[in-house]
Structure 1
């Protein structure tokens, strides 16, 4: 049986394969028949419990379900990382640049806890997101930039939907309130949006002030802790994950000891951050300064 560390990429592959099948309007039995495999094999692939993922199976499923080449290559890259305990998604390596691994994780999460140095994607207004996306991908055509921004905006329904909106707990470094992204007009609108969204019962936004210094004597860098739904036994069917993004890729941790350290860090940062009311007050003050 695979250890818990190897389940993350497998479950990611399974989630995408399930979405492909459902998008093609096929049952598990129908898909199994078309790729000439047993229904149990397909079910295990979709639940991330297959002991071994054959690249041929992924190719066949992608072909039958009409997946594009980027998706097929990305799923095979994820499958090859299935035996890694903590794995690195390096852009341009096994997984194509256009395939966003993190989005698959976020879509399956039931709670997110952030420490951020820029406004998180789920809280970005389109102009802020568009500016960052264009800076990160200067050679891509405008159509691709539009696609990326639209994907980011669509994700935000997770925190605004009426039924079981996604809880998010954001600690935002105060530097994000001063670093100009795009223009003063964009910054004013973005900070007002942060303050307004922070009034939602499922959204907590706290500012880590400069006055807090370095609570750990060192920089942690930005990170996100993702928690997933419980399984039939009451325990999480998928291990919690820490996502730490870097310039050339992102690291995903699900080692219990590392997870504990990041949870402790988030709790400690929350303790020295401004409370939600004071954070909203500061956000609105900075928004007025940008608007003036």
Structure 2
């Protein structure tokens, strides 16, 4: 699979910018300390440097006191980003990989997310539901590790609930997500009620695709996320939209090829035409919660 240096350069720049801002340094100060030009650092942070130098990335990470592991991941990302082929599709990471967290950076920058899922998406999970998933994934993981991962997952939810510029989140949820028990019936009851409540937020929609809808486009589509980064004041895209596919046991896929992204938009629109409306969805979620209460 061909890697997309455009997407990777943007993520590298995003990471370096966030690290710099965490230190309180301006571009001018950081550039002077790392013996770079302010223009060069600005281009690197914006993802416009076609061949990011690994030595410059390493020096910046040292300046920002980035951990050794994240420094090596950033350097490796710079190496990948310097490749010239670009088909708009990359494969990175996966459930059992410590690869650079490309998705988390994109999620923080997104203005709108459209997602189809067979599990409750992380941005809307209750602590109990999130803990049930993490415990299942880690198996014999330590309690501290489990709680740290749960806290990290829940912390992301501020993107949906913050008052200033919250993420626009459109969730298409297959009905199987309401029947797949995570943790316990009590946890599921609480999760179903939380979904019903959070769907009232002006920036959130939750619509369930019932079992009776059958297949979509003659198939049972897997989970996907479409990330939209919005436009600037001139109406130009800040970043091209990206489709994210969780690779689970293998590598995750990141797609910015315009033709493929448009296909996923079409798929999402087709799924939405087969879902319950928002009021019907809330009624279903509350009914399922009552059923779990009786278990």
Task: Report the counterpart of residue 184 of structure 1 in structure 2.
Answer: 185
Do the aligned partners of 1:244 and 1:252 also contact (CA within 8 Å) in 2?
yes
* CA distance, structure 2, for counterparts of residue 264 and residue 63 of structure 1: 45
- 2:257 equivalent to 1:245: no
Task: Report the counterpart of residue 208 of structure 2 in structure 1.
Answer: 207
- State the Cα distance separating 1:29 from its structure 2 match: 1.6
- 2:54 equivalent to 1:52: no
Task: Report the counterpart of residue 271 of structure 1 in structure 2.
Answer: 273
Do the aligned partners of 1:188 and 1:290 also contact (CA within 8 Å) in 2?
yes
Task: Report the counterpart of residue 129 of structure 1 in structure 2.
Answer: 130
Residue by residue over 1:207-264, the C-alpha shift from the partner in whole angstroms, topping out at 9 and shown as x without a partner, is 0100000021112210000000313532112100000112223100000110010000
3-state DSSP of counterpart to 2:194: helix
Task: Report the counterpart of residue 23 of structure 2 in structure 1.
Answer: 24
* CA distance, structure 2, for counterparts of residue 211 and residue 288 of structure 1: 21
Query: Residues 96, 125 of structure 1: CA spacing in aligned structure 2 closer, same or farther, 3 A cutoff?
Result: same
- 2:16 equivalent to 1:14: no
Alignment of 1:141-180 (within 5 A): 141-180=142-181
Give structure 1 regions of 4+ aligned residues with deviation exceeding 6 angstroms: none
Do the aligned partners of 1:73 and 1:96 also contact (CA within 8 Å) in 2?
no
Do the aligned partners of 1:110 and 1:229 also contact (CA within 8 Å) in 2?
yes
Q: Give TM-score scaled by structure 2 length.
A: 0.92
- State the Cα distance separating 1:92 from its structure 2 match: 8.6
Task: Report the counterpart of residue 74 of structure 1 in structure 2.
Answer: 73
3-state DSSP of counterpart to 2:167: coil
Let me know the Cα RMSD of the aligned residues: 1.8
Do the aligned partners of 1:20 and 1:65 also contact (CA within 8 Å) in 2?
yes
- State the Cα distance separating 1:139 from its structure 2 match: 4.5
3-state DSSP of counterpart to 2:166: coil
Q: Unaligned 5+ residue runs, structure 1?
A: none
Further displaced range: 72-81 or 185-194:
72-81
Query: Residues 220, 92 of structure 1: CA spacing in aligned structure 2 closer, same or farther, 3 A cutoff?
Result: closer
Task: Report the counterpart of residue 194 of structure 1 in structure 2.
Answer: 195
3-state DSSP of counterpart to 1:81: helix
